[in-house]
Amino acid sequence: MPSVISTDVLIVGAGVAGLWLNARLRRQGFSTVLVESASLGGGQSVKSQGIIHGGAKYALHGALTGASEAIADMPRRWREALAGDGELDLTGVRLLSEAHYLWSPGTIAGNLTSFFASKAVRGRVDQVKGEQLPPALQDKRFKGKVYRLAELVIDVPGLIQRLADLAGDGLLAGQNIEPLLEGGKLAGLKVDEREIRAQRIVLSAGAGTAALLEALGLSQPAMQSRPLHMIIAKGPGLKPLYAHCLGGGTKPRITVTTHPAADGQWVWYLGGDIAEAEGVAREPAEQIATAQKELGQLLPWIDLSTAQWATLRVDRAEPLQSGLTRPDNAFLAEEGRLLVGWPTKLALAPDFADRVIASLQRDGIQPSHPAPLPDLPKPPMGVSAWEQLLP
């Protein structure tokens, strides 16, 4: 018979949201258990592009809401954590790029007018030229304007590994989750028959949260999935590039990030408009051909002749939104002991943790120093899409 466990905070879902929250809580002296049904970070987190947005991309839409200010602070908070003097010690996590760039090919200036007028980017965007250009754009044939945004790009697999190290003995591989009720109220969860009691239960299971809520007999908060069809290229001719390439509209036409593969080659990971609606409708071969054509036009000097290609279909899980506006805040809903949410962006994991911690403080939840945890079965690490698809 598996043991009964008591903990302060029981978290379900070990993507960046659950792992970050877990590490913050442990640092504050809380006991935690973090349950993962598949692999650490293997949901959306290791499939993300790793950009620590400061809100600049969203400023392309024109007016920014007050809420966007939360995201504006994220690059600073991550930078401090990476330097070892922030809310978490993330020293050793690889910073792939100190900056993300905004690149407007040719003469598209219209959408940049509102962009530069917005508060989120004022004073934080510099035009770069010549040797300051990202290596992939340093060619005499390159035409267009490039701006440096104060947004970092991090190596997400390394981040997940570091957060897993900070999780100590609290990680638990578990599949079957049922409510543990006391007097008709939620007192914890049964995880693979193991009873775990907690002062608070947090669901941060990304796309899995809807099914978990159903298992707990709840229908709120409602979730939405936004499908994406990302493109991956790996090859010796690729050079580092971290940039949103602007098209005529308010969304980046292509967002390129560059990641190190285990065999030492660079991988280009392509998202943005190309991976959204029309891209989702394309078959993989068609999606690859579209990307090849776009890159051939935008960057004809980059040798893609020996590159290997793949595509990845992945959904972004978010709280249900009215209209088409995108969330630029973490989201958290509360129902008694249960807290449920989505960070909505990797970059906003600190904001998600803030919201949970604020709720604990408001309710006077204190570390209770329960008995040490037994040896728990551990979930494996998530593997990046390029190692799986282009090993």
Ligand X SMILES: Cc1cc2nc3c(=O)[nH]c(=O)nc-3n(C[C@H](O)[C@H](O)[C@H](O)COP(=O)(O)OP(=O)(O)OC[C@H]3O[C@@H](n4cnc5c(N)ncnc54)[C@H](O)[C@@H]3O)c2cc1C
Summarize as ranges the residues that interact with ligand X (CB under 6 A): 12-18, 35-38, 41-45, 47-51, 53, 177, 204-208, 212, 228, 230, 271, 314, 316, 342-347
Is the N-terminal amide bond of 350 cis, ω within 30° of 0?
no
Which residue lies nearer to ligand X by CB, 136 or 314? 314
CB of 154 to ligand X, least distance (A): 9
> What burial letters (b/e) apply to 215-250, b meaning 16+ CB within 10 Å?
ebebeebebeeeebbbbbbbbeebbbbbbbbbbeeb
Which residue lies nearer to ligand X by CB, 148 or 316? 316
The label of the residue with tokens 């239960």 reads: 201
Q: How many residues does the chain have?
A: 391
CB of 3 to ligand X, least distance (A): 19
Which residue lies nearer to ligand X by CB, 18 or 157? 18
CB of 129 to ligand X, least distance (A): 26
d(CA 189, CA 27): 23
* Element containing residue 355 per DSSP (H, E): helix 349-362
CB of 13 to ligand X, least distance (A): 3
d(CA 191, CA 168): 19
* Element containing residue 70 per DSSP (H, E): helix 68-72
What tokens does 200 get?
A: 């608070």
Which residue lies nearer to ligand X by CB, 53 or 194? 53
User: Which is nearest to 272 in space by CA: 143, 94, 100?
Assistant: 100
CB of 208 to ligand X, least distance (A): 2
Which residue lies nearer to ligand X by CB, 191 or 307? 191
d(CA 13, CA 36): 5
Other CB atoms within 10 Å distance of the CB of residue 197 = 16
CB of 390 to ligand X, least distance (A): 16
CB of 231 to ligand X, least distance (A): 10
CB of 328 to ligand X, least distance (A): 10
User: Which is nearest to 62 in space by CA: 250, 288, 272?
Assistant: 250
Beta bridge partners of 243: 101, 256
Asked if residues 255 and 294 have their Cβ atoms less than 8 Å apart, the reply is no
